[in-house]
Amino acid sequence: MTALLVIVFTAALLLGITLWKRNSPARLRDIPALTRLYRMLGLSVEDGTRLHISLGRGSLLDARGGSALAGLATLRIIAEKTSVSDMPVVASSGDPVLGLLTQDTLQAGYQAAGVSELYVPTAGRITGLSPFGFAAGAMHIAQNEKVSTNVMLGHFGPEAALLADASDRESVTMIGASDNLSGQAVLFANTQDALIGEELFAAGAYLGAGATHIASLTVQDILRWLIILALLVGAAAKFFGVI
């Protein structure tokens, strides 16, 4: 019952803030990695290179699904913005269901840009079903398809080191975040501007996904402060013997 109340409260809060944000300018703090990503979008179109978006191995049927959905939201925006490029975005994943959603998301981006006839299904690929098999297949894209930026958003473990090494060898800019501590440690050590923690879920808002994504950041902040307040109240109640 408590979980249901939390879900209903969060949904109502998200709806209300979304309606409010539609009529007010967004004020977002500076995140260097996302600023760099936004700049690389324009540069890739100008210099005839492509972005490689890797969504990891997150399954939508467990706790890893949140990072996968965040990656798909980012892919949708990037696909729309680069659809008219000579070298459009290519995406990789390591989960069958996520692979199908990757293709569907790419197609939606092309349709939003009004160039659905340019969509190529092979732009969304499943590069492997095991951790290191997936990484080996994704490495091939970075090394052989004129990629200027690797964007890794999703569930990655230690295999992220292979992708980081491939990017470094090809002098490819890498931007990444993972919901896994091992993957996050690798990405933090190998990227110039790392995305930390919940910044993984902010990419859509910073790339212009709309009021809902911006509102979701506000909801995250509100829930975070409510949890902090509940912890402080509980500690004080315990200290004074109330509970």
Angle 65-82/96-112 helices, nearest 10 degrees?
Answer: 30
**Are 17 and 215 a contacting pair, CB within 8 Å?**
yes
Q: Is residue 26 part of a domain?
A: no
Q: Is residue 227 part of a domain?
A: no
Inform me whether the pLDDT recorded for 117 exceeds 80: yes
Q: Is residue 240 part of a domain?
A: no
Inform me whether the pLDDT recorded for 130 exceeds 70: yes
Q: Is residue 16 part of a domain?
A: no
Domain that holds residue 172: 37-211
Phi and psi angles of residue 91, each rounded to the nearest 5 degrees, phi first: -125, 145
Q: Is residue 219 part of a domain?
A: no
Q: Is residue 83 part of a domain?
A: yes
Q: How many domains does the chain have?
A: 1
In three-state secondary structure terms, 231 is: helix
Q: Is residue 138 part of a domain?
A: yes
Question: Token digits for 182?
Answer: 């091992």
Q: Give the tens place of pLDDT for each residue, 76-116.
A: 888 888 887 778 889 999 889 898 999 999 999 899 888 88
Q: How far apart are CA 134 and CA 57, in angstroms?
A: 8
Q: Find, among 63, 124, 50, the residue nearest to 94 by Cα.
A: 124
Helix (H) / strand (E) containing 126: strand 124-126
Question: Token digits for 240?
Answer: 């004074």
Least confident of 87-96, 191-200, 219-228: 191-200
Q: Give the tens place of pLDDT for each residue, 18-55.
A: 777 676 666 677 788 888 888 888 787 777 788 999 99
Can you give the CATH number for the domain in which 162 is found?
A: 3.40.50
Segment 2-31 shows an average pLDDT of 75
Q: Is residue 25 part of a domain?
A: no
